[in-house]
A and B are shown apart, each in its own frame.
Chain A
Amino acid sequence: MIGLILDALIVISLVGLALQAINAASLFRAILHFVVLGLAMSLAWARLDAPDLAMAEAAIGAGVTGALMMIAYRRLVELKPEGEPARTTQRSKLALPIAVASGLLVGMIGLAASLTEHRPGLAGLAVLETMDATGLGNPITGVLLIFRGFDTLLEITVLLAALLGAQAVTQRPDPDPSLTTQDPTTPLVGALLAIVVPLTVLVSVHLLKAGSSDTGGAFQAGAVLAASGVLLILTGRVEASDRPVVLLNLGLVAGLVSFILLGLAPLLQGGTLLALPGIGAIYFLESAMTLSIALTLVLLFAGATGLKRGRHG
């Protein structure tokens, strides 16, 4: 009963927040609603017994995406200081019928799914049967890296491509000082960083390690690590720079390159492509991917090609 009420509350707030995120009076409100929508979505995933997805949604969907959208909003305001133009998008006459039709479609699918007998898919059963042989305890990590390694490889590639695209269109040659908070020298900020940054790194490493047997993994760990990078930029300890840094670029491609090399390695011995050789390789790959994901997200936030020590560092 309580569970049902909770589910109903989550569903209602999801729909309401989604509507608000689209129809909000200003862009800023829309962003805030989107971030809260991400949090509600992570609650929904948690209720569906998908803690991995819930964590990824909270860390990436709400946290990092929210920070990225906020910083994009700030840049927009800087470009047009006279204020944001009124949103004058004309509503199409087709909007309502399309919305009703898609709602009906989703409702029908949900109804059909809840009425049919629950049967796990064949692929899922096959994964669970062969999980023991992989040495991993978490089927999700198994699917991401062993059974569907190609998908994950492409995801990492897309992330890197996104960063390269963002860097290509960034028109600001000089680093942006406005990212720093108004008063980065107050003693409280230093105290906060001294506690929060080590804790964040600890949580990130824990998530990375836990990914092999429990909830966690490279994407969650990378997002959490990126959060501490964003914090360091916001407090002026680290600054955007227009000069590429070799070490940083190595870290950016570490995940992709090690995935490709480890994926190709079995071919030398006549194995199949992307058949990762053993649990050690998986740990190595996850660590490299965590580093790359975190650096990519931080550089996306900074909107720069490199980072350097900040003025308040």
Chain B
Amino acid sequence: MSLNDGIALALLLAGCAFYLAGTIGLLRFPDVYCRLHALAKADNTGLLLICAGLAVLGQNWQTTTILALVWLVGLLASTVSAHLIARHAHRGGQKPSETKSRHP
């Protein structure tokens, strides 16, 4: 296993960890705003890490450009959809959950 493979593996695993965290947040968080927060933030970072890992594996500027585009378009789509969902929930009168944090 070369150094490049090692770097790529680390990036891919880190990306998967972010995806896992985002999904757990989506399933466990109390209200729609928290869930969107978890999903939009963690998944976009995960996507960035996975794209970076694949770019390291690809070692080719064309692949890298396409992967960068993939990340940017994903970022754009998730930002706008999270914004629209949150706005819709807010207009619909959903209040953020009032659960107090256990660690003040």
Q: Which A residues are within 8 Å of any B CB, using their own CB?
A: 181-183, 186, 188-189, 191-192, 195-196, 199
- Spell out B's residues near A (CB within 8 Å): 69, 73, 76-77, 79-80, 83-84, 87-88, 91
| 13 A-B contacts (beta carbon < 8 Å) | A182-B87, A182-B88, A183-B84, A183-B88, A188-B79, A188-B80, A188-B84, A189-B84, A191-B80, A192-B77, A195-B76, A196-B73, A199-B69
Once bound together, how far apart are the Cα atoms of A139 and B97, in whole Å?
Answer: 57
Chain A residues with CB below 8 A from B79, complex form? 188
Point out the residues of chain B lying under 8 angstroms from A186, CB to CB: 83-84, 87
Question: What secondary structure prevails in chain A residues at the interface with B?
Answer: helix
Instruction: Give B99 Cβ to nearest chain A Cβ, in Å.
Output: 26
Question: How many whole Å from A55's CB to the nearest CB in chain B?
Answer: 15
| Residues in chain B near residue A181, CB distance under 8 A | 84
- Bound Cα distance from A196 to B91, whole angstroms: 26
Smallest CB-CB separation from A234: which chain B residue?
B84
**For chain B, what secondary structure do more than half of its interface residues adopt (helix, strand, loop), or is it mixed?**
helix
Q: Give chain B nearest CB distance to A191 CB in angstroms.
A: 8
Complex CA–CA separation, A183 to B80 (angstroms): 12
Residues in A with CB closer than 8 Å to B69 are 199
The answer on a CB contact under 8 Å between A183 and B87 is yes
CA gap between A188 and B75 in the complex, in Å: 12
Give the distance in Å from the alpha carbon of A182 to the alpha carbon of B80 in the complex: 13
Bound Cα distance A69, B79 (Å): 24
B20 CB to nearest A CB, Å: 15
Given contacts A196-B73, A199-B73, contact A189 B80 (CB under 8 A): yes
Q: Which residues of B contact A182 (CB under 8 A)?
A: 84, 87-88, 91
Q: In the assembly, what is the distance between CA of A302 and CA of B91, in Å? A: 26
Nearest B residue to A193, CB-CB: B80
- Tell me the complex Cα distance, A254–B79, Å: 37
Measured CB to CB, the nearest residue on chain A to B88 is: A182
Within the assembled complex, what's the spacing in Å between the Cα atoms of A196 and B81? Answer: 13
Per the bound structure, the CA–CA distance linking A191 and B77 in Å amounts to: 10
Closest chain A residue to B92, Cβ basis: A182
Q: Do B88 and A192 have beta carbons less than 8 Å apart?
A: no
Minimum CB–CB distance from B53 to chain A (whole Å) comes to 15
Which residues in A have their C-beta under 8 angstroms from that of B76? 191-192, 195-196
CB distance from B47 to the nearest CB of A (A): 16
A182 CA to B84 CA in the complex, in Å?
A: 8
Taking CB atoms, residues of chain B closer than 8 Å to A199 are: 69, 73
Q: Which chain A residues border B91 with CB–CB below 8 Å? A: 182-183
B77 engages A196 (CB within 8 Å) = yes
Best-surrounded residue of B73, B77, B84, B88 (most CB of chain A within 10 A): B84
Measured CB to CB, the closest approach of chain A to B42, in angstroms, equals 19
CB distance from A246 to the nearest CB of B (A): 34
Ranked nearest first, the 5 interchain pairs of A and B with the lowest CB-CB distance are A192-B80, A182-B88, A188-B80, A188-B83, A183-B87
* Bound CA–CA A37/B77 (angstroms): 22
Minimum Cβ distance to chain B for residue A108 (Å):
37
Nearest chain A CB to B36's CB is how many angstroms away? 14
* Chain A residue with Cβ nearest B87: A183
Bound: A121/B88 CA distance, A: 55
A189 → B minimal CB distance (Å)? 6
Q: Which of A189, A192, A196, A199 has the most CB of B within 10 A?
A: A192
- In the complex, what's the smallest C-beta–C-beta distance from A222 to chain B, in angstroms? 20
In angstroms, Cα B83 to Cα A188, docked, is: 8
